[in-house]
Amino acid sequence: MKRLVITGPRQASFDDVDIPDCPPDGLLVRANVTAVSTGTEIRVYRYIPVDEDGEWLHGGVRFPDGPIENGYSMVGEVVEVGSDVEDFQVGDRVFCAGTHKEYAVSPARDTLKLPDEVSDEQGVFLNILGVGQLGLRHGEPNPGENVAIVGLGVIGLSAIAFCSAFGFRTVGIDYSQSRRDVADAMRADLVLDPADDGFTQRVIEFFDGRGADLVLETASVWPAIQTSLEIVRQDGVVVVVARHTDSPTFNLVGHPYMTTRYTLRASLGYRPNELRWNRMNSMKLTTRLIANGSLPVDPMITHEFGWADLPDVYARLDQGDSDILGAVIRWR
């Protein structure tokens, strides 16, 4: 089978490997589509570590000696069911955290059947949408509160979609006009360019002169965190969702930010499985909201490519093509 591998900085290619065996507690899934996580996957494509010593690819995962598989979003068809699995059968259409390849093995406990009302193209973004949902949950906003999203890539747009579904008043912020247009189509109440004159005051005034109750930073650059601190209300919350690999460019606890008495939180990874809103329950909620039309995800899906185009897609994203947002990769 074909699989995408990263073999060095900005080196993406395909190799041929055997189709994996299906374990007793798992499923063998044949890919229909995969999705590109444009932030995480391009960081891996660039070989950027998450630590200063350059050892860690992800939290808890060191850089391997050999090729790196990339991606974490697949919709496909179950072609084999493990001997210990009871809730799935061959032919089921499922979402799993597969990388970019023709076949993936997925633990049954981490695999979700998709309802007919959710298309392959929508369902393949469940993990990515989940990052946006989790960022909101970590911010713990109350019903009706004001939320600003700084950075309108796929994670920021995912948060915009959930803000619409959950009834928050939302401002989407990005330098890119095309991304602001998508956020507008996804029912953001206001979209702004942070380079515009009077930007900060416009956000504060839109939120009744108080600023945002909650700000999600999803841009992965320090100026975005600085913007977040400038628009959050006194005693408000800033949640950092994006991964930051550069050192700070300003003093987060200096003047004037200390006077805001803001709370800063990091959002990374799902809550333990014994809690109510774990990964699987969050994905089930997402599928329900897509199925009933409450979650406006379609505007985020901007491109579809064949699997052989993946190295070129990575190169375009690496070179700053901001028009590619939700990229679906078709395998068959």
**Residue-wise pLDDT tens digits, 184-226:** 999 999 999 999 999 999 999 999 999 999 999 999 999 999 9
Tell me, yes or no, whether 308 and 245 share the same domain.
Answer: no
Tell me, yes or no, whether 76 and 155 share the same domain.
Answer: no
DSSP H helical ranges for 94-221: 120-123, 126-139, 154-166, 177-185, 199-206
Lowest mean pLDDT among 49-63, 96-110, 166-180: 49-63
What is the spatial distance between Cα 196 and Cα 176, in angstroms, rounded to a whole number? 12
Lowest mean pLDDT among 110-124, 163-177, 252-266: 252-266
The predicted structure's pLDDT at residue 65: 80
The predicted structure's pLDDT at residue 80: 99
Does 107 score more than 80 pLDDT?
Answer: yes
Tell me, yes or no, whether 156 and 236 share the same domain.
Answer: yes
In a domain, 67, yes or no: yes
Last residue within a domain, chosen from 266, 289, 316: 266
3-state class (DSSP) for residue 203: helix
Q: What is the CATH number of the domain that holds 72?
A: 3.90.180.10
Structure tokens at 18: 């055997």
Q: What's the average model confidence in pLDDT over 67-93?
A: 98
Going by C-alpha positions, the residue among 5, 1, 4 that lies closest to residue 17 is: 1
Q: What percentage of the chain carries pLDDT values higher than 90? A: 85
Is the CB of residue 7 less than 8 Å from the CB of residue 67?
A: yes
Tell me, yes or no, whether 159 and 78 share the same domain.
Answer: no
To 5 degrees, how large is the angle CA 326–CA 328–CA 332?
Answer: 175
In a domain, 241, yes or no: yes
First to last CA, the chain: 13
315: left (phi over 0), alpha (psi -120 to 50) or beta: alpha
Q: What's the average model confidence in pLDDT over 130-155?
A: 96
Q: What's the average model confidence in pLDDT over 110-137?
A: 97
Going by C-alpha positions, the residue among 175, 158, 174 that lies closest to residue 166 is: 158
| Helices vs strands, H then E, count in the chain | 9, 18
Tell me, yes or no, whether 303 and 251 share the same domain.
Answer: no
Residue 57's domain comprises 2-125+297-330
| Band of pLDDT at residue 62, cut at 50, 70 and 90 | confident
The predicted structure's pLDDT at residue 291: 98
Q: What percentage of the chain carries pLDDT values higher than 70? A: 98
Q: What are the φ and ψ backbone dihedral angles of 97, each rounded to 5 degrees?
A: -90, 45
Does 145 score more than 70 pLDDT?
Answer: yes
Angstrom CA distances, 301 to 90, 123, 279, 318, 329, stand at 28, 11, 22, 19, 11
In a domain, 290, yes or no: no
Going by C-alpha positions, the residue among 243, 268, 265 that lies closest to residue 50 is: 243
Edge-first strand listing for the sheet containing 2-8: 11-16, 2-8, 68-69
Tell me, yes or no, whether 102 and 191 share the same domain.
Answer: no
Tell me, yes or no, whether 12 and 53 share the same domain.
Answer: yes
Does 234 score more than 80 pLDDT?
Answer: yes
| Band of pLDDT at residue 59, cut at 50, 70 and 90 | low
The predicted structure's pLDDT at residue 33: 99
Last residue within a domain, chosen from 243, 266, 289: 266
What is the spatial distance between Cα 25 and Cα 213, in angstroms, rounded to a whole number? 44
Tell me, yes or no, whether 105 and 143 share the same domain.
Answer: no
Q: How many domains does the chain have?
A: 2
> 6-32: per-residue pLDDT in tens?
999 999 999 999 999 999 999 999 999
Going by C-alpha positions, the residue among 30, 25, 29 that lies closest to residue 85 is: 25
Q: What is the CATH number of the domain that holds 148?
A: 3.40.50.720
To 5 degrees, how large is the angle CA 112–CA 57–CA 279?
Answer: 20
Which residues, 6 or more positions from 138, have their beta carbon under 8 angstroms from its beta carbon?
A: 239, 265, 266, 267
Global pTM exceeds 0.85: yes
Strand boundaries in 193-297, DSSP class E:
212-217, 232-240, 263-266
| Band of pLDDT at residue 274, cut at 50, 70 and 90 | low
Tell me, yes or no, whether 34 and 148 share the same domain.
Answer: no
Tell me, yes or no, whether 162 and 240 share the same domain.
Answer: yes
Tell me, yes or no, whether 107 and 139 share the same domain.
Answer: no
The predicted structure's pLDDT at residue 276: 84
